[in-house]
Amino acid sequence: MMRKLSIIIAIVLLPTLVFAYVIGDGDWTYKTDPMGENIYFNPNCADGGCGSDEDQINALWQGAKAWQDWGLAEFEFPYGGTTTRNSVLYDNWNIVFFSPTSNGSAIAATYYWVSSGNMTECDMIFYDGAWNFNAYMGPSYNEFDVWDIAAHEFGHYLQLDHSPYYYATMYAYSNEGETYKRDLYSDDIAGIQAIYGMQDPFSVILETNDDSYARVFTQSGGSFSFTVTAYNNTSTGRYFRATIDLILPDGSEYGPLMNVNSVYIGPNATLTYNSTQNIPGGAPVGEYKYRARMRHTSSPYDDYDVSYFMFWVNGTAKGNMGDISYWKLPEGNFVPVYESQTPGSDGNVPGVFELKQNVPNPFNPTTNISFNLYEDASVTLEVYNIRGQKIKTLIDNRYSEIGPYRVVWDATDNNGAPVSAGVYLYKLDVGNKTAVKKMILIK
């Protein structure tokens, strides 16, 4: 009897003990576009440690990206640009700003407006009159880290309340010099997925390569580099159509600038593409939406997922787009990082090897990567970040005999330095065969 009772208690308590996130009054899920509403930043921090406007915007944006990149949930923050607005009023503007005031011992606050359960506006205020903030090179002992505080406040923006876990980004208190809230904790991820759902089975993220929030050009032209990362979160390989196009300042669609009809993505695989976009001189002035689409091959007008960021062209001339060839992307640049991947239905190569999903996953601070060799071969096992940059070599071209193998990764790079939380890929090369799997490091 007592044993049964213990089991019942364990079942009742388990969800509460594992996750303790708290959800707020509303959410943004009614928006057809993820999040739907642009966010505008006012880089008016007066503290010396805040650096330039760009430093401030970048630190704020990193706080948002903590959720966007590592929340693995179905939303994105659309950045709208800068503003000089500085009010928390219900005025149809979502803004983030620094106030030269103090308000008790508040460091920052998020004001939100909800109508019938739907978020309709959100503003974020940093009390710069009371505290020293730092947005440049990390905080000193008497400064609050803008990235760290912004990550916490953007959790509120998404309508998460506080977590009792000290290591959670949504933990209630903050102190000077603190930076650990920059990275999400498992409780944060569970909370945000509870509100917005997990990412689609197939998803794509488009980012500029310098991690910046936006690009601003003059009419003399320019360029930016970017990365498209496509995820297949299922156990089945799939072909998709990859398209990049533009929404012009007048609201019309333009392109495609790149279109690949049939890209294969293996089960639980991640593909990363890099290229550079040319902005020809004389382009029309205004706001452009740069868009990557992961689309069905059989139904080309349907998207699995869409991701975008904005860029701006400033100037005085009316301008025109010119010939589309000036905008076109060279398709040759859109090559999967792991071209040699030749997976079977489960991502492995039958008769040669079997690469298993790491355990635990997500993990911290270590995880086990196991594989079976079915023939003697030279083996290389490496860890990459989602940009395709090699982080760690765990096995370097070592001749290995048939059998099971297990390697522990301690979340450090080749220099022994700890790596930040996020999505990583581990790639096993056996002879000329390769398999890749995804793993998630949480802090």
Partner 1 sequence: MMLSWKKAIILLLGTIILFGTATVSYSAMYPVSDRWMVAHSDVIVTGKIISITSNYESDGLIWSYATIRVADRVMGITPDEVIFKYQGGTVGEVTMGVSISPKFEIGEEVLVFLKNADDGMLEITNWNLSKYTLVNGSFLENGKTYREYIDELTEIIKAR
Point out which residues bind partner 1 (CB under 8 A).
2-3, 5-6, 9, 12-13, 16-17, 20, 22, 24-26, 88-90, 103-116, 131, 149, 152-153, 156, 161-162, 164, 172-175
Give the strand pairing for 222-232 and 202-208: antiparallel
Instruction: Give CA–CA dist 377/354, Å, rounded.
Output: 13
- Rounded CA gap, 215 and 36, in Å? 20
* Rounded-to-integer distance, Cα 230 and Cα 293, Å: 10
Closer by beta carbon to partner 1, 165 or else 374: 165
Distance CA 212, CA 57 (A): 9
To partner 1, the closest distance from the beta carbon of 27 in angstroms equals 12
CA distance 118 to 26: 5
CB of 396 to partner 1, least distance (A): 45
Q: Which is nearer to partner 1, 91 or 410 (CB)?
A: 91
Report how far residue 352's alpha carbon sits from residue 376's, in angstroms, rounded to the nearest whole number. 9
The full length of the chain comes to 443
Question: Which helix or strand (DSSP H or E) is residue 207 part of?
Answer: strand 202-208
Task: Give the largest CA-CA distance in the chain.
Answer: 83
Q: Which one-letter amino acid corresponds to residue 118?
A: N
| Residues 22 and 192: beta-carbon distance below 8 Å | no
- Least separation in angstroms between CB 152 and partner 1: 6
Q: Which is nearer to partner 1, 104 or 251 (CB)?
A: 104
With respect to partner 1, which residue has the nearer C-beta, 166 or 239? 166
Q: Which is nearer to partner 1, 188 or 429 (CB)?
A: 188
Give whichever of 119 and 421 is closer to partner 1, judged by the CB atom: 119
CB of 276: closest distance to partner 1 in angstroms? 39
Closest CA to 168 of 199, 146, 141, 191: 191
Nearest residue to 157 (alpha-carbon basis) of 123, 194, 189: 123
161 vs 287, beta carbon nearer partner 1: 161
Q: In whole angstroms, how close is the CB of 158 to partner 1 at the nearest point?
A: 11
Query: Which helix (H) or strand (E) is 55 found in, with range?
Result: helix 53-70
For partner 1, which is the closer residue by CB, 108 or 421? 108
CA distance linking residue 352 with residue 340, whole number of Å: 15
Cβ at position 47, least distance to partner 1 in Å:
16
Strands 270-279 and 222-232: antiparallel
Name which of 13 and 46 has its Cβ closer to partner 1. 13
Q: Give DSSP secondary structure letters for 207-271.
A: EETT--S-EEEETT-EEEEEEEEEEE-SSS-EEEEEEEEEE-TTS-EEEEEEEEEEEEE-TT-EE
Contact 177, 140 (CB under 8 A): yes
Cβ at position 17, least distance to partner 1 in Å = 7
What angle do the packed helices 146-157 and 186-196 form, to 10 degrees?
30
Q: Which is nearer to partner 1, 165 or 264 (CB)?
A: 165
Dihedral over alpha carbons 402, 404, 410, 415 (to 10 degrees): 0
* Distance of closest approach, residue 156 Cβ to partner 1, in angstroms: 4
Least distance in angstroms from the C-beta of 136 to partner 1:
20
Is the Cβ of residue 4 or residue 318 nearer to partner 1 in the bound state? 4
Least gap, CB of 130 to partner 1 (angstroms): 8
Q: Which two tokens stand for residue 226?
A: 């970017």
Q: Provide the minimum distance between the beta carbon of 129 and partner 1 in the complex, in angstroms, as a whole number.
A: 13
Distance between CA 55 and CA 122 in Å, rounded? Answer: 22
Residues with Cβ < 8 Å from 415, sequence gap 6 or more?
Answer: none
